[in-house]
Amino acid sequence: MALIVQKFGGSSVANAERVMNVASIVADTYNAGNSVVVVVSAQGDTTDDLLDKANEINPKHSKRELDMLLSAGEQISIALLAMALEKLGCPVISLLGWQAGFNTNKNYTTARIKKIDTERVSSELDNKKIVVVAGFQGINKYDDITTLGRGGSDTSAVALAAALHADKCQIFTDVEGVYTTDPRKVPNAKKLQEITYDEMLELATLGAQVLNNRSVEMAKKYHVELEVLSSLKRVPGTIVKEATTLEKMLIRGVTKDSHVARVSVIALPDTPGIAFKLFSKLAAKNINVDIILQSVGRDGTKDITFTVDKDNAEHAKSAVLEAFPNMTDENFVIDSDIAKISVVGAGMETHPGTASQMFEALFEAGINIQMISTSEIKISVLVDAKDADKAVHAVHNEFFSED
Amino acid sequence: MALIVQKFGGSSVANAERVMNVASIVADTYNAGNSVVVVVSAQGDTTDDLLDKANEINPKHSKRELDMLLSAGEQISIALLAMALEKLGCPVISLLGWQAGFNTNKNYTTARIKKIDTERVSSELDNKKIVVVAGFQGINKYDDITTLGRGGSDTSAVALAAALHADKCQIFTDVEGVYTTDPRKVPNAKKLQEITYDEMLELATLGAQVLNNRSVEMAKKYHVELEVLSSLKRVPGTIVKEATTLEKMLIRGVTKDSHVARVSVIALPDTPGIAFKLFSKLAAKNINVDIILQSVGRDGTKDITFTVDKDNAEHAKSAVLEAFPNMTDENFVIDSDIAKISVVGAGMETHPGTASQMFEALFEAGINIQMISTSEIKISVLVDAKDADKAVHAVHNEFFSED
């Protein structure tokens, strides 16, 4: 009855047994009377193996040839999955990115989808075929193969679901859905039945690593209902959709991001335009800044503290030194031994007590808060790395232990 | 100056070191001022590995999906070779079969090239790029990927050379050229400088295994000058071209084919149309017959003996039984313990003594000849399998020892 797009990642099709497992999920969906489009990534380590081959020959290979190389990975998995579905007696056809109409801009390795010509996919669906599409790849105006970058298969699936006006886009992963916090670390973590796009975006950014951000943004933009669920265990997952149809929960989840560093720039001149000068320089160097805090320093100066990805801490320092050539090492304090703990939930918009409840939980656990940042649906605090797991437990217990 | 198509097989690009070796050959050709198109097969065992994956999942996979799967192999090797050429500072671009304009008929796994649209390749050559093309593959009218079957990359190279009106098509292999007989078995085997298309065709059919037959036929049809040479040792190879420009050598080579069986059908009725009935049945079953011999039998019957590929001997018997339902096992003698020894040379057309010279050599070596077959440029004899190598030596010595 429905048109469903199902996406399976590399680990879900890592070997023959897993491919057959995926085929049986797809076949069941098809045999229940649905039209099914399947988007698949390259098998397990294929992409890494191909990268190794490339780097062995020439680490400075062009991006065009890298895309030519890597896109062979999905080609292999779509053919194998189609063969598995043939074995189960299903009419099926596999299509490469270009055959499925994925037109991208010209950027190799980080291409953006411009348009999907759904003609071929639609006509195969009309012929009652299951259509298996290579994720992660498309074609540019030169008729050259492009790839969409990390997590690109999620984006392929959501974009195709949007273009086909599919009823649902199911993203199969190795977890059962989106949890209130990392279930491997916190035993009483709970699986969420539903979550809004915005909450999911905050969770994805904060390191929940279930769904690629671009794909969630796209799902939001085109109103594609997502479901995150397990390819190994057949239980309902987590639905990601518009807030309007969801009951607003106070808190959806608690996340930890340890890959963060705090950079303090001390004794900047207290004149207008200083912050602009500093952060525009960082932006020009493509360094993403997360939390920003400005305070008044001594003797008519000010201090600016911000957080960046751990890998970017030294780059950020160099960039600031370029902007302010008079500064020296004395003006910097960099701390990589920290973690960012966040709570996310659309409900807190209308619930002013959430922040204080979080801070109280941390205080009772004896954890010092270094920095605070809030958005309409998120509260993040910076703590010592050694306190991170304790902080997650404390905050999670605060919001989820009672039910 | 010249436009040269170079083809490298799977073993020539089996690993990073081999890929770099191929790149250096290509770069030298390019740096000498030539326009270069390179046709490459899948790396080493890639095709077999992919076949294993397919068979593990579903041995009864469709041919369409098999072509989708296998064509990923050349995709990997063209990208890697392009990266290797980038490392050597050469402007280069890799193209898949469909990007290079290979249009085939619709038959998966055994497609025939219908047309090559050379627009893209020509424009890349005009831009002074080395063009690396995936061999073995094309695209059919459904926009689906097809493959050309065994030895398909040779065919790709020759067809592209013909379409581009290339000056030469060089086929790089792991041997140094075409020899008068198997150099691994006969130490004084000699490399031929030149050979005609027809001679090469006879040698290929007879098991010399240097060049795929279809590619030689195509080279002959479109007057593409071929050169067979080594990718590992930089020495001149063997030129394959029109007879008109070659000195006609009496004998070009001596070959052995052990994969043959003799089927004798005894006591057939001696009435008109019997041979037609028998061989049309074999043709209908797609069984290729090589040598045919008919003799008068006893009591108004006749015997027909023919040779087929060893694998087809029992199929041939079944086919004959279908044509003549009254026959029994008594009417058949099948001998698989035989070998076919052939001498090939365009010169023998005008040299009637060749056959007797060959028979004399075999007689002096004490080898019994079971059957004889001759064409304008070939003489084949059937001998016991145990005598095969001795026969090759004796015949080769007869024609090549003196010089």
Contact B75 A72 (CB under 8 A): yes
Token pair recorded at residue A61: 């290979």
Best A17, A26, A58, A78 residue to mutate vs chain B (most B CBs within 10 Å): A58
User: Using CB atoms and an 8 Å cut-off, which of residues 121-150 of chain A contact chain B?
Assistant: 143-145
Instruction: Name the nearest CA neighbour of A231 among A88, A1, A26.
Output: A26
Burial A47-71 (b: 16+ CB within 10 A, else e): beebbebbeebbeebbebbbbbbbb
Chain B CA closest to residue A133? B68
How high is the pLDDT of residue A21? 97
Q: Which amino acid is at A34?
A: N
Q: How far is B378 from chain A (nearest CA, A)?
A: 45
- Say how many C-beta atoms besides its own lie within 10 A of residue B4's C-beta: 22
Pick the more confident residue, B180 or B82.
Answer: B82
- pLDDT value, residue B337: 94
Q: Report the chain A residue with the minimal C-alpha distance to residue B56.
A: A16
Judged by CB atoms closer than 8 Å, whether chains meet at A75 and B72 is answered as yes
DSSP readout, B1-18? --EEEEEE-GGGGSSHHH
Query: Taking CB atoms and an 8 Å limit, are B56 and A16 in contact across chains?
Result: yes
Measured in Å, how far apart are chain A's first and last C-alpha atoms?
Answer: 37
- What is the per-residue pLDDT for A378? 86
**A304 strand-pairing partners:** A265, A294
Q: How far is CA B116 from each of CA B122, B137, B149, rounded to the nearest angstrom?
A: 11, 12, 17
Q: Does B327 touch chain A (CB under 8 A)?
A: no
Block residue for tokens 């299903």:
A90
pLDDT at B244 (0 to 100):
63
Q: Which of A62, A94, A143 sits opposite B99 (nearest CB)?
A: A143
| Short-list B75, B163, B152, B78, CA closest to B116 | B163
CA-CA-CA-CA torsion for A12, A13, A17, A22, nearest 10 degrees? Answer: 70
pLDDT tens digits for range B216-228 = 989 999 999 999 9
CA–CA separation, A361 and A345 (whole Å): 17
pLDDT recorded at residue B299: 76
Exposure letters B272-305 (e unless 16+ CB within 10 A, then b): eebeeebbebbeeeebebbbebeeebeeeebbbb
The DSSP code for A222 is H
pLDDT above 60 for B367: yes
Q: Which of B293, B315, B313, B290 is nearest to B302 (CA)?
A: B293
B225-234, B236-245, B378-387: lowest mean pLDDT where? B236-245
Q: Which residues of A touch B58 (CB under 8 A)?
A: 83-84, 86-87
Coil, helix or strand at residue A301 = strand
Task: Count helices and strands (H / E) in chain B.
Answer: 11, 18
* Burial classification of residue A199, based on how many CB atoms lie within 10 Å of its CB (0-12 exposed, 13-18 middle, 19 or more buried): buried
**Average pLDDT of the residues in A157-163:** 97
**What is the rounded average pLDDT for all residues in chain A?**
90
> Is residue A403 pLDDT above 50, yes or no?
no
> Partners of A147 in the beta sheet?
A137
The answer to whether A99 faces chain B, any CB pair under 8 Å, is yes
Residue B307 contacts residue B341 (beta carbons within 8 Å) = no
Inter-helix orientation angle A119-126/A152-164, to 10°: 70
Query: Strand order of the sheet with strand A168-173?
Result: A92-95, A130-134, A35-40, A3-8, A168-173, A226-230, A238-241, A194-196
The more confidently predicted of residues B262 and A297 is: B262
Query: Are A400 and A180 spatial neighbours (Cβ–Cβ below 8 Å)?
Result: yes
The pLDDT > 90 percentage for chain A reads 59
Closest alpha carbon to A6 in A34, A31, A37: A37
- pLDDT tens digits for B78-127? 999 999 999 999 999 999 999 999 999 999 999 999 999 999 999 999 99
DSSP A225: P
A103 contacts A113 by C-beta, under 8 angstroms:
yes
Nearest in space to A135 (alpha carbons), one of A186, A81, A177: A81
Q: C-alpha A322: how far from its chain's center?
A: 32
The number of CA neighbours under 13 Å toward the Cβ of B32 is: 12
Report field, pTM of the whole predicted structure over 0.95 = no
Ramachandran region, residue B267 (left: φ > 0; alpha: ψ -120 to 50; beta: rest): left
Closest CA of chain A from B109, distance in Å: 14
Out of B53, B83, B94, closest to residue A58 by CB: B83
User: CA–CA separation, B309 vs B334, rounded Å?
Assistant: 12
Q: How confident is the model at residue A4 (pLDDT cuts 50, 70, 90)?
A: very high
Residues of chain B contacting A24 with CB distance shorter than 8 Å: none
Determine the residue of chain B that is closest to A68 in CA distance.
Answer: B79
Residue of B nearest to A19 (CA): B57
Tell me how crowded residue A259 is: count the other CB atoms within 10 A of its CB.
12
Q: Between A and B, how many CB-CB pairs are < 8 A?
A: 112
DSSP string, B116-177: E--HHHHHHHHTT-EEEEETTEEE-TTS-EEE--TTHHHHHHHHHHHHTT-SEEEEEESSSS
| SS3 state of residue A386 | helix
Residue found under tokens 């560093």: A261
B176 token code pair: 């140094």
A79–B66 CB contact, under 8 Å: yes
Cβ atoms < 10 Å from Cβ of A132: 33
Residues in B touching A68 (Cβ below 8 Å)? 75, 78-79, 82, 94, 96
Q: What is the pLDDT of residue B25?
A: 97
Beta strands in B206-329 (DSSP E): 226-230, 238-241, 253-269, 289-296, 301-309
State whether A53 and B94 contact (CB < 8 Å). Answer: no
Q: Considering only A52-56, A210-214, B389-393, which range has the smallest mean pLDDT?
A: A210-214
pLDDT the model gives residue A300: 78
Edge-first strand listing for the sheet containing B102-104 = B113-116, B102-104, B137-139, B145-147
Residue in B254, B148, B103, B263 with CA at minimum distance from that of residue B192? B254
Residue B24 touches partner A, C-beta closer than 8 Å = no
Q: Do A39 and A7 form a contact (C-beta atoms < 8 A)?
A: yes
Mean pLDDT of all residues in B166-180: 91
* Predicted confidence band of residue A24 (pLDDT cuts 50, 70, 90): very high
Task: Say how far apart CA A384 and CA B295 lie, in whole Å.
Answer: 99
pLDDT of residue A306 exceeding 80, the answer is yes
CB distance A255 to A344 below 8 Å:
yes
Residue B157 has which token pair?
A: 């190279």
Q: Look at residue A246 in the predicted model and tell me its pLDDT.
A: 60
Helical pair A63-87 and A46-57, crossing angle rounded to 10 deg: 150
Residues 6+ apart with CB under 8 A from B16: A53, A56, A57, B80
- Kindly report the number of other CB atoms within 10 A of residue B46's CB atom: 20
Q: Which residue is associated with the tokens 């479109």?
A: B222
Residue B184's contacts (CB-CB under 8 Å, 6 or more residues apart) are: none
Q: For residue A68, what are its two tokens?
A: 């030519």
What confidence score (pLDDT) does residue B79 get?
Answer: 98
Higher confidence at residue A27 or residue A397?
A27
The closest alpha carbon to A10, from A69, A62, A77, A63, belongs to A77
Residue A274 scores a pLDDT above 90: no
pLDDT tens digit sequence for A346-376: 877 767 678 888 888 999 999 998 888 888 7
Length of chain B counted residue by residue: 403
Q: What's the CA gap between A52 and A259, in Å, rounded?
A: 25
- The Cα-based distances of A98 to A139, A145, B98 in angstroms read 5, 8, 11
Q: Quick check: B402 contacting A, CB < 8 Å?
A: no
User: In this predicted structure, what is the pLDDT of residue A377?
Assistant: 84
Torsion angles phi and psi, residue A62, rounded to 5:
-75, 155
Q: Which two tokens stand for residue B223?
A: 């007057």
Among A304, A291, A284, which Cα is nearest to A380's? A291
- Give the pLDDT of residue B294: 78
Contact between chains at A75 and B53 (C-beta distance less than 8 A): no
Chain B: residue whose CA lies nearest to A42: B72
Hey, how many other C-beta atoms are within 10 angstroms of the C-beta on B173?
Answer: 22
Contact between B131 and B124 under an 8 Å Cβ cutoff? The reply is yes
A244 touches chain B (CB under 8 A): no
Contact A86 B65 (CB under 8 A): yes
Q: What is the DSSP letter of B178?
A: -
Residues A78/B53, Cβ–Cβ less than 8 Å: no
In chain A, % of residues over pLDDT 70: 96
Collapsed DSSP state (helix, strand, coil) of residue A99: coil
Whether the predicted interface score ipTM is above 0.90: no
pLDDT above 90 covers a percentage of chain B that reads: 59
Range of weakest confidence among A39-53, A176-190, B46-60, B384-398: A176-190
* pLDDT value for A249: 67
Element (H, E) at B277: helix B274-284
pLDDT at A206: 59
pLDDT for position B248: 61
The reply to whether A61 touches chain B by the CB within 8 Å rule is yes
Residue B388: the pLDDT is 94
Average predicted confidence (pLDDT) for chain B: 90
- Neighbouring CB atoms inside 10 A of B3's CB total 16
Q: Tell me how close the Cα of B8 comes to any Cα of chain A, in angstroms.
A: 17
**Opening angle at CA B243, ends B240 and B247, nearest 5:** 95
Cα–Cα distances in angstroms (integers) from residue A387 to residues A309, A362, B2, B102, B134, in the given order: 19, 10, 71, 62, 55
Q: Are strands A260-269 and A332-335 parallel, antiparallel or unpaired?
A: antiparallel
Complete DSSP assignment for B314-364 = HHHHHHHHHH-TT--GGGEEEEEEEEEEEEE-GGGGG-TTHHHHHHHHHHH
- What mean pLDDT comes out for the span B341-366? 84
